[in-house]
Structure 1
Amino acid sequence: MIKLTHLGGEPFVLNAELIRYLEASPDTFVTLTNGDRIVVREPTDVVVDRVIEYHQRKNLLPPGISRPNAGAE
């Protein structure tokens, strides 16, 4: 589970396993596996980082893995 914020400011927790893909246009849209879309305040890079941390906590990814090109911006 990852913590995110609706555009209106309400925090919520999302099961990261349900994320199909993310879009930035300019708001961040999270599309779920069931087709639902959620708009969140966090930029896509933050959502990706939280998903990576989630998988690391579940031991699905080894520690030290980060976003490709993180810090190259």
Structure 2
Amino acid sequence: MIRLTRLNDEEFIINCTQIERVESIPESNVILISGKHYVVKESIEEIIDRVIEFNAQIYARAQKRKE
């Protein structure tokens, strides 16, 4: 799950595993597998970084449980 910001400054949490693609229009348009989409303030690069960080946290937690 990652935190994003709508154009009206409202923050929300999105399940990043459901993201199909992100387009720049010039704002970022996050399109989910379901077809639902969200226009957000974050750049494509910021969204990618947040998804990477989320996945790294999941991987790190999984590694801790194996120890």
TM-score (norm. length: structure 1): 0.79
Alignment gaps of 5+ in structure 1: 61-73
Percent of matched pairs sharing the same residue: 37
Alignment gaps of 5+ in structure 2: 61-67
Q: Partner residue of 1:59?
A: 59
Count the aligned residue pairs: 60
CA drift at 1:25: 1.5
Runs of 4+ in 1 over 6 A off after TM superposition: none
Which residues of 2 match residues 1-73 of structure 1 at below 5 A? 1-59=1-59
Q: Which has the higher helix share?
A: 2
The whole-number CA distance in structure 2 between the counterparts of 1:28 and 1:38 is 8
